[in-house]
């Protein structure tokens, strides 16, 4: 868990933990929140070298590796994250996994697939919020609400997406966002961003989806990770929004 800078005694900077932040959308969110003045904690399942070099690039950052499919690793992630600077103001649940399975191929969506996706995309975000709650409440005592942002998907809003287990899990994450917003207010605001197609390594080969966004979406393109990071930064910056699911699909849902 190397730091690129020694922590001062009384740490007054706000601290954000972004899960799955060594690539794609999570990396853009981490860079954006760092530029907005946050101390950031980067995390991924496996790419420790990338995480450590990103942490060295950013003004004030640290990296922690943890497999979010494991309950004990989720507990360790929050404990280590809080130990670094002694506070946690923002949790971005970005880490997620997908499986591409045709929606009419019910046999391919096995119980094992459901369980694997559910553990990382649904159970882990809830459990991380539960572990982080006392620390987020303590941060809110500094004078402004703490904040959770869940990265879900347009597939959790409309009957679309890479597979039914993925889409149903993201729908669960959206509903969980509203339930948690109600339970944790006013100290902790909880919102979600539901992206459509985003240009990341994960979607580089999704040529059909890219053509769809260029031809049908009012904005005529997929999102860049920075577009999603901008929306996350808006939610974090708000003092009032809670329980919102911001659909960020370039207007495709209107067509
Ligand atoms: P990505 O594959 O670049 O990033 C996913 C991150 O999740 C990685 O850092 C990985 O380490 C982490 N992760 C996966 N399984 C993990 C585990 N078991 N333990 C710990 N970390 C784990 O993908 P991305 O496209 O940047 O996606 C980020 C989020 O955005 C995901 O939740 C995804 O479902 C969502 N999303 C992406 C798109 C898109 O078009 N790219 C669209 C809608 C929603």
pLDDT per residue as tens digits for the range 85-118 = 999 999 999 999 999 999 999 999 999 999 999 9
95 Cα: distance to centroid of ligand 1 (angstroms): 4
Q: Using alpha carbons, select from 147, 146, 166 the residue that is nearest to residue 156.
A: 166
122 within a domain of the structure (yes/no): yes
**Ramachandran class of 220: left when φ > 0, alpha when ψ lies in -120 to 50, beta otherwise:** left
pLDDT at 226 > cutoff 70: yes
Work out whether the CA dihedral 146, 142, 37, 241 comes out positive or negative: positive
Residue 191, domain member (yes or no) = yes
Total count of domains within the chain: 1
Could you tell me the residue range of the domain that residue 49 belongs to?
15-254
Distance separating alpha carbons of residues 231 and 229, to the nearest angstrom: 5
Average pLDDT over every residue of 214-225: 97
Distance 77 CA to ligand 1 centre (A): 17
Q: Rounded mean pLDDT of 76-83?
A: 98
Question: Contact, 138 vs 82, CB < 8 A?
Answer: no
In this predicted structure, the answer to whether residue 127 has a pLDDT above a threshold of 60 is yes
Strands 188-195 and 146-151: parallel
In the chain, % of residues over pLDDT 70? 96
**Which residues, 6 or more positions from 47, have their beta carbon under 8 angstroms from its beta carbon?**
22, 23
pLDDT of 36 higher than 90: yes
Q: Yes or no: say if 111 and 71 are a contact pair by the CB < 8 Å rule.
A: no
Q: 164 in a domain, yes or no? A: yes
Ligand 1 site-directed mutation target among 24, 199, 206, most atoms within 8 Å of CB: 24
Is 51 a residue whose pLDDT tops 90? yes
- Distance (Å, whole) CA 167 – CA 49: 31
Q: Above pLDDT 90, what percent of the chain?
A: 92
- Does the pLDDT at position 202 exceed 90? no
Residue 61 has pLDDT above 60, yes or no: yes
| Annotated catalytic residue within 38, 63, 166, 213 | 166
Please report, to the nearest 10 degrees, the dihedral formed by the alpha carbons of residues 122, 77, 62, 98 taken in order.
Answer: -30
Between CA 2 and CA 81, with CA 227 as vertex, the angle to 5 degrees is 25
Write the CB contacts of 104 (distance below 8 Å, at least 6 apart in sequence). none
**122 CB less than 6 Å from ligand 1?**
no
In a domain, 4, yes or no: no
Residue 128 within any structural domain of the chain: yes
Confidence class of residue 3 from pLDDT cuts 50, 70 and 90? low
pLDDT at 1 over 60: no
Rounded Cα distance, 65 and 250, in Å:
33
- The answer to whether the CB of 23 is under 6 A from ligand 1 is yes
Identify which of 142, 133, 59, 149 has the alpha carbon closest to the alpha carbon of residue 95: 149
- Domain membership of residue 5 (yes or no) is no
Residue 111 CA, ligand 1 centroid: distance in Å:
21
Q: What is the mean pLDDT of residues 51-78?
A: 98
User: What is the per-residue pLDDT for 201?
Assistant: 84
Give the pTM: 0.96
- 63 in catalytic set: no
Ligand 1: does its nearest atom lie under 6 Å from the Cβ of 70? no
- Whichever domain contains 196, its CATH number is 3.40.50.720
Number of H helices, E strands in the chain: 8, 7
184 lines ligand 1 (CB under 6 A): no
Please tell me the distance between residue 201's alpha carbon and the centre of ligand 1 in angstroms: 10
**Structure confidence at residue 12 as a pLDDT band (50, 70, 90):** confident
In a domain, 59, yes or no: yes
For ligand 1, say whether the CB of 20 is within 6 Å of any of its atoms: yes
pLDDT recorded at residue 255: 94
Mean pLDDT on 134-148 = 95
């Amino acid at each position: 868990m190397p730091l690129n800078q020694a922590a001062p005694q009384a740490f007054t900077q706000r601290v954000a933990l972004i899960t799955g932040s060594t690539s794609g959308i999570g990396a853009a969110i981490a860079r954006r929140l760092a530029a907005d003045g946050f101390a950031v904690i980067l995390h991924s399942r496996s790419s420790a070298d990338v995480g450590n070099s990103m942490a060295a690039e950013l003004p004030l950052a640290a990296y922690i590796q943890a497999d979010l499919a494991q309950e004990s690793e989720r507990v360790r992630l929050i404990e280590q994250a809080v130990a670094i600077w002694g506070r946690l103001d923002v949790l971005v649940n970005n880490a997620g996994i997908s499986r591409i399975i045709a929606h009419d191929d019910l046999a391919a969506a096995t119980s094992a697939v459901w369980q694997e996706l559910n553990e990382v995309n649904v159970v882990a975000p809830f459990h991380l919020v539960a572990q982080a709650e006392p620390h987020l409440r303590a941060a809110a005592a500094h004078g402004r609400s703490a904040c959770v942002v869940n990265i879900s998907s347009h597939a959790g809003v409309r009957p679309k997406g890479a597979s039914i287990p993925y889409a149903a899990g993201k729908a669960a994450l959206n509903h969980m966002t509203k339930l948690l917003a109600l339970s944790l207010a006013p100290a902790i605001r909880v919102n979600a961003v539901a992206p459509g197609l985003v240009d990341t390594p994960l979607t580089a080969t999704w040529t059909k989806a890219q053509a769809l966004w260029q031809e049908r979406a009012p904005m005529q393109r997929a999102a860049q990770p920075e577009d999603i990071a901008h929306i996350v930064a808006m939610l974090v910056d708000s003092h009032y929004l809670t329980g919102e699911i911001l659909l960020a699909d370039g207007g495709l849902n209107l067509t």
